[in-house]
Amino acid sequence: MSFPGVLEQKVFWALFFVTLLALMLRFSHFADLGIGNLFYASTIRSMGESWHNFFYASFDPSGAIAVDKPPLGLWLQVLSTKLFGLNAFGFIGPIALAGALAVPLVFVGAYRWFGLEVATIAAIVLAIFPESVATSRDSTMDALLMFVAMLSALILVYSVENRPKLLLIWAISLAVLFNIKFFEGLIFLPAAGVYIMVRWRNQLAEKAGLIFGSGIIFIVCASLWMVAVELTNVDSRPLILNDPNNSPISLAIFYNGIERVFPSEVTIFQSIPDAPRYSAALQAIWAPAFGVGDAGLFRLFSGANGPLLGSTLCFGLFGVLSILVANRSLLNGPVLFWMTWFLTGLVLFSFSNRAPAHYIESFAPAIAIMGGLGIVRGLEYFGVFKILIAPLIFVCLLLYNFAVTTEYPVLREMLSYSLAGGIIVYILFGLLRTMTNLKIATPILSIFLFFPLLTSAWIVSFSPRAQITQPNPVIYATEEFAWDAGSQNQSWRRVPAEKFLEKLPVDSSAEYRFGIDGVNNAGEAIAFTGEPILPVWNEYRRELMFPPDILRGFLETGELQYLLLSQGRIALGLLDEVRDITGEYCEYDEVLSADFKSWVVFECGR
C-alpha cells in the first residue's frame, strides 16, 4: 500500500472516531432532556402556530410579544418540531447535531494547516469540551452559532490563503451568524481584520474593492429581517421584548450589544428593597452563576466555570504561550487568526458585563485549535528547554484541576480517575510504539484530556437535565445537591398552568386564557400547554410588559379575564404597577386562590 493510502486511512478513521465521540456525548440520554430551555421552547412552539408568528419570532401563540433574539436559528427549530414533534429531538435535535458537526469542521480546519496529530487532538478538545457538550444539549442557539462560526472561519482562511473571491461568500456567512444571535456570532471579526491586514498587507490597495464589497453584502444581508420588521406598522406586529423602543435595530445594538459588554445595571440581579435577607443571598449566588457581577481576570477559570471551562482554556493558553515565546514565525499564517480569535473571546468574556457559560461557544473552535497546538506541538516549540517546561506545565495543570474541584467532590473523584486513566493510556501507547514500531504520537499533555472527558460524561449521565441554562451543570456536583438517579429528571416546574387552566371556563371568549407575572413564568406555561398566556410584567426590567394604556385595553375589552400572580412578588412590592392597573378592573378570587399555594388569582371584567 502506498504512503498516501495509509495517510488517507488514518485521516478517515481519526475523523470518524472524533465525530462519533462528539455525537455520543451530545445525544446520550437525549430523550430525557425534554423540551430544553422553556423560554425558547415557548417561542419555538408559538412560532409554529402561524406564518405571522413564524416571521416575527413571536414569544406567545397570540403574537403579542416577539422574543428578544433574531429568528434564523429559531426558524430551524420550528421546522424541526414540525418533523419530529414537541420533544427533545424537535426542540434540541438541530442544536445538538450542529454542536457535533462542528467537531469535524475543526478537524478539517486544523488538518489543512497543522497536520493530522494537531487536527485529531483539536477535534477531541471540542468534542469533549464540557461547556460545549452541555450547551449542545439545550435549546439555546449557541451551538448552532458555533457551527456556523467555524464554517465561516474556514471560508475566511481559504479566502485569504487561496481564493480571495470567497470573501464575498464569507460576508454572507457573517450575515447568517448575525441573524442567529446578533453580535455574539461576530466575536471573531477583530481576528479576521488583523488576519486580513497582515496577510494582505502588500495587496490592500488591490483588494480594497473586494473588502468593501464584502462589507456591503454583509450589511445588506444582515439587516434584511430587521429592516422588514422596523418598517412594519407597530400595530401589525408583536411588541419586541426587552427593548423600550420596540425596535429590532435598537434591540440588537443595546440589549444584545452594548448592555452585554459595557458595565451597566442588570436589573434582574439587582437587590430588591426591603427583601428578606435570604433573597439577597440568593441574588449573590445566582448572579455569578449567570456571568453577572463577577467580571475579572479569573472569571472563566474559577468557581463552577473552572471544571466547565477553565481546564480546557488552559490548553489553549499554553498553545498561545508556546507560539509567542518559542515559535512566532507561525503568526505569518492562519495561526494568527485562530490565536487572535481565542484571545478576543477570552478577554471579552472575562471582563464583559454579562458572560453566561454558553457564550463561550462563540469562540470554542479557536479554543480547540489553540488547545490542539498546545497539547501536540507546545512542548516541541521549546526545543531543548522542553525537558524543563514539561514538568512545570504538568504540575501547573494538575494543581489547577485539583484547586477548581475543591468544592465539587464528585468531580474531584473523577479527576483522580482521569489522571490514573491518562497515565495508563500514555504508558500503553508508549509500549505499543516500542513493540510494533508504529508511529503513534501521544503527547504527554493529552493525559489531561481525560478530565474534561469525564466531566462531560458526568454532565450527560448525572447532572439534572444536563443543560447549560440551569445555568451551569457543574454547580450540581457540590455536596448541597445530593441528586440520586431517580431525581435526575424531576420536574423543574414552578407554574401550575395545567391545573389552573382546568379551573377556568372553557367557553371564554377572551383572547388570552390568563395573564401571569414574568416572562419566564409565561414561557413555562406556554411551552407545556401551547395556550395563549400573556406575561403582564417583565422581570428582566422589573416593569410592566406593556404600556399602561395597552394593559388597560386588554382588561377593558375582556381579552384578559384572569390573572395568576406570584404571592412572593406581590409581597415584595415588585408588582405594584400591575396591581395599580388591575385594581381598577379585577377582583381577588378567594376560591381559586385557595387551590394554588404561593399564587394569587384575580378575576377581571366582572
CA 484 to chain centre: 27
Alpha helices in 486-547 (DSSP H): 497-503, 519-529
**Residues 6 or more apart whose Cβ sits within 8 Å of residue 282:** none
From first CA to last CA, the distance across the chain in angstroms is 87
**Which bin fits 303, alpha (ψ -120 to 50), beta or left (φ > 0)?**
left
Residue 193 is predicted with a pLDDT of: 97
What are 325-366's pLDDT values in tens digits?
A: 888 888 888 999 999 999 999 999 999 999 999 999 999 999
Q: In angstroms, rounded to a whole number, what is the distance separating the alpha carbons of residues 135 and 474? A: 13
SS (H, E, C) 244-276: CCCCHHHHHHHHHHHHHHCCCCCHHHCCCCCCC
Least confident segment among 223-227, 282-286, 406-410: 282-286
Say if CB 141 and CB 400 are below 8 A apart.
Answer: no
Residue 81 is predicted with a pLDDT of: 98
Residue 275 is predicted with a pLDDT of: 67
- Over the chain, what is the mean pLDDT? 89
C-alpha cell at 504: 377556568
Q: In angstroms, rounded to a whole number, what is the distance separating the alpha carbons of residues 113 and 106? A: 11
Which run of H or of E encompasses 587? strand 586-588
Q: Kindly report the CA angle at 81 between 229 and 560, in degrees rounded to 5?
A: 60
Q: In angstroms, rounded to a whole number, what is the distance separating the alpha carbons of residues 16 and 337? A: 27
CB count in 10 Å sphere of residue 135: 31
Residue 432 is predicted with a pLDDT of: 62
Burial class (CB in 10 A: 0-12, 13-18, 19+), 16: exposed
Of 187, 220, 194, which is closest to residue 212 (Cα–Cα)?
A: 220
Q: Which residues of 358-385 are buried (b: 16+ CB within 10 A; e: fewer)?
A: bbbbbbbbbbbbbbbbbbbbbbebbeee
Of 34, 37, 132, which is closest to residue 89 (Cα–Cα)?
A: 34
pLDDT above 90: residue 124: yes
Tell me the pTM: 0.93
Q: What is the band of 412 on the pLDDT scale with cuts at 50, 70, 90?
A: confident
- What number is the average pLDDT over the span 82-86? 96
SS3 state at 304: coil
What are 300-323's pLDDT values in tens digits?
A: 999 889 999 999 999 999 999 989
CA 124 to chain centre: 20
